[in-house]
Amino acid sequence: MSTLDYNDLRIGTAFIFEGQPWEILEFAFVRMQQRKAVAQVKMKNLISGKVVSRSFHQNETFDEADISRESVKFLYHHKGQYWFSQPNNPKGRFFLTDDVVGSAGEFLKPDTEVTAIKFQDKTINIKPPIKVDLIVKEAPPAFRGDTAQGGSKPVVLETGAKINTPMFIEEGDVVRVNTETGQYVERVKIY
């Protein structure tokens, strides 16, 4: 494991801080008047998902986090557990709890390929595809001239997730959703 100093921190760098793996989301060198430069970062805890802002000084060092990623398949969700399987290994099943998977779980349907994030050979989180296509299961009817809600309406997707879509989206349509923001992207044409 290599040691990093504050000059080695960059967006995407994974390092150990207070015994846990963190990833840099935003990074900037800042020099205050009459003071030494500091590295201001926004960082995400790879286990809890918590995002914090922090400043690091020249004299601070960190251990590089041994993070690996592998492709796994989402199987199903049951009683607060998301079950996954490793490709080509039927015995390689594991689960993560609702609090670990977080809001990304709202957009997972069976057989979706996701990326498992591992720390010290233990799966600590998953990263779903950025965009997924899901069927609209429930959509209220749209009425002509109905723009009181800014031209959008809430719908329920096949996974149970609720999102806002344009008024023209109907039950049975397939919509593309951004899993990071939870927002509607576009209607998908099925041929």
Per CATH, 3-64 and 131-188 having the same topology is answered no
Domain 67-127 falls under CATH 3.30.565.10: no
Can you give the pLDDT at residue 98? 87
Q: Under 8 Å CB-to-CB from 20, ≥6 apart: which residues?
A: 45, 46, 47, 48
Second-level CATH architecture of 131-188? Beta Barrel (2.40)
Can you give the pLDDT at residue 176? 96
Can you give the pLDDT at residue 87? 79
Q: What is the CATH number of domain 3-64?
A: 2.30.30.30
Can you give the pLDDT at residue 150? 62
Instruction: Give per-10-residue mean pLDDT for the chain (191 aa).
Output: 82 90 89 78 86 88 90 93 86 87 89 91 88 94 61 91 93 94 90 68
